[in-house]
Structure 1
Amino acid sequence: MGIRKKTTKNPPVLSHEFVIQNHADIVSCVAMVFLLGLMFEVSSRTHVEWLFSAAHVGGCPAGLEETAVSHFHNGIKDLATIFFYMLVAIIMHAIIQEYVLDKINRKKHFSKTKHSKFNESGQLSAFYLFSFGWGTSILLSENFLSNPVTLWEGYPHTLMPFQMKFYYICQLGYWLHTLPELYFQKTKKEDIPRQLVYIFLYLVHIAGAYILNLNHLGLVLLVLHYFVELVFHISRLVYFSNENRQLGFTIWAILFVLGRLLTLSLSVLTIGFGLATAENQGFDLAAGNFNILFVRITVLAAICLTQAFMMWKFINFQLRRWREHAQAQTLKKKQVPSKSKSKKDKVNGVNGVNSHGADSPRARKEKSS
């Protein structure tokens, strides 16, 4: 994320600088079009469907007839809903940046590198904290943690409570909004490939779980992953305030490895054993059933490759940190003897003059003059 320089000059209308400076206001106007549609009877029903996914109400599954909870399924109209919440995410991003992060940056006077990383961690910390809390509340209300069998039992999970469906909509909207943010935040060219890789991974895994009706497993893995990432970015924010506080990175390193192992374990348990032994195996697009060997292998391979890629990046990161720490310690050891040696030389020089007195070279020179 680059540093945005505010200038007193007003850039030309519709120029790149104009769009970047006023992108939050422009996006707000586009979002207002969706909201204005609620005021008119002709368009109100369509806009309600776009904003609240009301078009996809499904019947209650077996055993839930007595409950008053409405259930929803995914559909093509979700694209409009995702687009709207992508606009909301852009607006929220601009609010956090301008009213929180920019004010802290002005007080701390970070360098360019720290400025960019601080903005990234600040934005992601807010998102991960919100998503982790919201996702945990859904897991508790749906009893996924107390009854892990629900991760595969009753597949396909085509019907979802509103909170779960809305959670996936907001997740997709948020990660889609990060694509235009690369332009709005003037991201450096060398940072764009790294950002695109993890944005692509998030979108593929979240959309895959949503489309393949693996939303129970996807929700558990997302909450677990978001907790680990939240610890990392909070640790980085603490490190920027005081570079001696590095305990958070150690805690994150332990949680990261445990998170990868738990992710693989739950994925193999759910897809490799739970769905593989289920009775309703077969491909039925209308019913949302994708429980066939090819899909199971593809999903497991994608999860395993992603976890391996993350572990590889993690190991490289740790090795780089240890190398930098070792170099810093070596430099300190080299500086200490040189300083002590210079002090000894000064003391010996003074003592030499005092001990020799008039017989010192300096005294002889003064005598001859």
Structure 2
Amino acid sequence: MAIRKKSNKNPPVLSHEFIVQNHADIVSCMAMIFLLGLMFEFTAKAAVIFVTLQYNVTIPATDVQSAETISLYHYGIKDLATIFFYMLVAIIIHAIIQEYTVKSKLLHILQHINNNELSFQKINRKMHFSKTKHSKFNESGQLSAFYLFSCVWGTSILVSENYISDPTSLWRDYPHTLIPFQMKFFYILQLAYWFHAFPELYFQKTKKEDIFRQIVYIGLYLFHIAGAYLLKLTHLGLVLLVLHYFVEFLFHISRLFYFSDERYQKGFSLWAVLFVLARLLTLILSVLTFGFGLARAEDQQLNFSTGNFNILAVRISVLASICMAQAFMMWKFINFQLRRWREHSSSQPQSVKKKFVTAKGKTSRKERENGINGTVTSNGADSPRSRKDKSS
């Protein structure tokens, strides 16, 4: 159970502030109800649906030429209960990371602060975090932890199932109705994590102007992950998720270092190159899977009982969805880079002028208050932009 910070104010029970301050404890109690249900026989059958994976199929040893039986899984309506339980777990872990790892440990490491008793408020004042920058720092902290965990776990599945050494496994033997335990658990946790992001908009007091952008961002993840899971495209979905998550992890970890030192730009340069390469590789793998592999399959009839969705209309729809998502991300990326370039270009003449004035010893009082040698520090930046100087 997550321990919340002590507050001098005690908001009324079940009020807005009470729920926000104690949401991790409330959700922890809800999760404990399901775990306690496993201890009693008359509730175990219902509780096990929430805690463990459902729809397992045991394959005898004679079928797989092995000395041990293998348990594989498919999906069904009971998966919604499992997703709900692990959504509660994701909310708890999110609160723990935010309260202890992001706010205390990461700031402690990035700034090399050796005083273990230094409070977060003192660290925040030392870092000169604005409210917007503080929110972005928390976001990057928990997302970088999630992306790193998902990348390592997803890569281990790819290696163990030989998907990397054999690219034809992306479409061979489609539909991939039966999947191993690790594969199904991976998708369940991915869906649970992105579903948990909706209540987090309330718990984190997201600004009204940012809610729509966040909903679109979360919805795109849920749409593509659920689509890969329901359409039996788990192999391709896993490869594309690991590829995308790695690039996103690099961006958020670079942004964390940027918050500690705004001169840090190397991570963003590497991210920009890998971002473009990831988009191209995603399109190549998608076109190969739908335009080459599945298009040449013998069985191309829609069959819900066997889970075969390999028909022309579905292939075109899925491929178009992937292409539109990549185009949308590239459009956002290009706009971001153009904005950076404009701000860098507009700040250069002012920087040269201020340095010239400083060299003559005519630095104004306002410049001395805002920075050193006439350079204004940017406290509200949430991206690797060049710092803009304030003109009088």
Give the TM-score taking structure 1 as reference length.
0.88
Matching residue within 278, 283, 286 for 2:302 = 283
Aligned to 1:89: 90
In the alignment, does 2:235 pair up with 1:219?
no
Contact 2:54 2:75 in 1 (8 A): no
Distance 1:15 1:342 in 2: 57
Assess if the C-alpha contact under 8 Å between 1:20 and 1:184 holds in 2.
yes
Q: Which residue does the alignment assign to 1:355?
A: none
More helix by share: 1
Residues 1:26 and 2:26 are matched in the alignment: yes
Question: What's the offset of the Cα at 1:197?
Answer: 1.1
Distance in 2 (alpha carbons) for counterparts of 1:291 and 1:198? 28
| TM-score with structure 2 setting the length | 0.83
Letter in 2 for 1:297: I
Structure 2 residue aligned with 1:308: 327
Question: Where does residue 77 of structure 2 map in the other structure?
Answer: 76
- Runs (5+) with no aligned partner, structure 1: 344-369
Aligned to 1:132: 151
Q: Is 2:336 the counterpart of 1:317? A: yes
Task: Give yes or no for contact 1:155–1:289 (8 Å, CA) kept in 2.
Answer: yes
Taking the aligned partners of 1:198 and 1:60, their CA distance within structure 2 comes to 43
Please say if 1:101 is aligned against 2:102.
Answer: yes
Aligned equivalents of 1:36 and 1:138: distance in 2? Answer: 31
Report the CA distance shift for 1:301/1:328 in structure 2 as closer, same or farther (over 3 A): same
Moved more, 101-110 or 180-189: 101-110
**RMSD of equivalent CA atoms:** 1.9
Q: For 1:33 and 1:191, how far apart are their aligned partners in 2?
A: 34
CA distance, structure 2, for counterparts of residue 57 and residue 159 of structure 1: 8
Task: Report the 3-state secondary structure (helix = DSSP H, G, I; strand = E; otherwise coil) of the residue aligned with 2:309.
Answer: strand
Q: Identify if the C-alpha distance between structure 1 residues 6 and 37 changes in structure 2 by more than 3 Å, giving closer, same or farther.
A: closer
2:290 aligned to 259, 262, 271, which one? 271
**CA pair 5-27 structure 1, distance change in 2 beyond 3 A:** closer
2:210 corresponds to 1:196? no
Flag structure 2 segments of 5+ consecutive residues without an equivalent.
108-119, 363-392
Matches within 5 A, 1:170-189: 170-189=189-208
Which residue number corresponds to residue 188 of structure 2? 169
Q: Is contact 1:56-1:75 (8 Å) kept?
A: no
Whether the 8 Å CA contact 2:147–2:248 is kept in 1: the answer is yes
Take 1:179 and 1:48, find their aligned partners in 2: how far apart are those partners?
A: 25
Q: Which has the larger radius of gyration?
A: 1
Q: Quick check: 2:163–2:170 contact (8 Å CA) kept in 1? A: yes
* C-alpha separation in 2, matches of 1:158 and 1:243: 49
Contact 2:300 2:311 in 1 (8 A): yes
1:61–1:159 Cα contact (<8 Å) kept: no
Preserved CA contact (<8 Å) 2:24 2:91:
yes
Q: Distance in 2 between matches of 1:47 and 1:265?
A: 43
Change (3 A) 1:137 1:334: same
Structure 1 pair 49–62 and aligned structure 2 pair: CA distance change class (3 A): farther
Displacement, 1:65?
Answer: 4.7
Q: Read off the aligned partner of 2:171 and give its amino acid letter.
A: W
Contact 1:58 1:159 in 2 (8 A): no
Distance of 1:296 and 1:257 partners within structure 2: 24
Aligned equivalent of 1:45: 45
